[in-house]
Amino acid sequence: MLRMNNIKILHPIEALGVEHAIAGEIRVETLSDRLKPKVDFPHRHDFYQLTFVTKGKGWHEIDFAKHKINGRQIFFMKPGQVHSWVFARGADGFVIEFTRESLPSLSSKSLFLLKQMAMVSDALSFKKESQWKDFQIICELMIKEYSLRSTQYEVCLEGLLQNLLVQLIRVSDKVAQHNTSSSIIDKFQKLVDENFKTQHLVGFYAKKMNMTPKALTMQVSRALKKAPKTVIQDRFILEAKRLLSYSDMSVAEVGYELGFEDANYFTRFFTKAAKVSPSNFRDKVKSLK
């Protein structure tokens, strides 16, 4: 049986705001009002979160990647990712939260936008003032609309959000590399998220997509710069790290939860992929808390 601490909970958007929110809401706040989390870290939630850091020091950790904060940065959290942050006093910026339903009527263009958003980097830094200024202007307009709540402010927020996301996609290197094979890659990654615990072979995913393993390997390698086997393994290792870090399960139980009946085989598999044993990884994480 899976025994989790707060990582088990996908905190809904309603849990993070001062007001009650519904699916489709767009929430805009200043970072200075959110330096102390409303839900204890580390946690994950079921909505998108954009954090624009205009100034300040600290760090933001997303799925075990720790990013140093220096200002002029954007952090883009997707649903399900685990994160925590620490900001020094005086940090400021904007926090924008939204759900899939926040995009107008989920039209074909909005759905395509959602697919592209999945490829945007978790962290982006800006050296050019002009490029950063464009984002800051949109954020300032959004917080003004959200604060004043004038007639039809929701419509204005939807338009500004779409503008913001398009600009974000344009500056993301990952998305720039994402070519016409995007629908294939999207389907592959969705299948991996749904099946990585029990299906580790490329052939399974190729069959599901009506492709040969060779064709799938070519498409994935070209778009993601890594083989599908590596994508599957990376997703598996990420989930193992989450369980080892945030649950009270034993190493054997983590292995069983991820489809390994033999704890020793899980330990060997994890150690080979992560370059550290599960026990040592857990001890290292605990020493950093």
Q: Which part of the chain is CATH 2.60.120.280?
A: 6-177
Name every residue whose Cβ is closer than 8 Å to that of residue 88 and which is 6 or more positions away in sequence.
56, 57, 58
Q: What one-letter code names the amino acid at 250?
A: S
Question: Would you state the torsion angle of the CA atoms of residues 259, 121, 14, 163, taken in this order, to the nearest 10 degrees?
Answer: -140
Residues 111/88, Cβ–Cβ less than 8 Å: no
Q: Which two tokens stand for residue 201?
A: 């072979």
Q: What is the pLDDT of residues 108-151, one digit of tens each?
A: 666 677 778 887 889 999 888 888 999 999 999 999 999 999 99
pLDDT at 217 over 70: yes
Q: Write out pLDDT tens, residues 223-234.
A: 888 999 999 999
Q: Taking the chain, what is the end-to-end CA distance rounded to the nearest angstrom?
A: 26
78 closest CA partner among 4, 189, 180, 228: 189
CA–CA separation, 21 and 47 (whole Å) = 12
The answer to whether residues 236 and 196 touch, using CB atoms and an 8 Å cutoff, is: yes
pLDDT at 22: 54
Percent of the chain with pLDDT over 70: 84
Q: Where in the sequence of the chain do the CATH 1.10.10.60 domains occur? A: 182-288
- For range 199-211, the mean pLDDT: 95
Cis previous bond, 228, omega within 30: no
Superfamily for the 182-288 domain: Homeodomain-like (1.10.10.60)
Contact between 77 and 49 (Cβ < 8 Å): yes
pLDDT digits (tens, 9 = 90+) for 38-67: 667 778 778 899 999 999 999 999 988 889
CA 225 to chain centre: 19
Smallest Cα–Cα separation from 63: which of 235, 196, 200, 194? 235
274 has pLDDT over 50: yes
pLDDT of residue 120: 86
147/18 Cα distance (integer angstroms): 13
How many angstroms separate the CA atoms of 14 and 45, rounded? 10
Judged against a pLDDT cut of 60, whether residue 29 lies above it is answered with yes
User: Between β-strands 65-69 and 123-125, what pairing exists: parallel, antiparallel or unpaired?
Assistant: unpaired
Architecture of domain 6-177: Sandwich (2.60)
Q: Is 178 left (phi over 0), alpha (psi -120 to 50) or beta?
A: beta
Predicted confidence at residue 100, as pLDDT, reads 83
pTM: 0.71
Burial (CB count within 10 angstroms: exposed 0-12, middle 13-18, buried 19+), residue 28: buried
Instruction: Quickly count: other Cβ atoms within 10 Å of residue 219's Cβ.
Output: 18
What's the rounded Cα separation, in Å, for the pair 144 and 270?
A: 48
Tell me, what's the pLDDT at 174? 52
Nearest in space to 28 (alpha carbons), one of 142, 134, 104, 136: 142
pLDDT for residue 23: 65
For 80-98, the pLDDT digits (tens) are 888 889 999 899 999 999 9
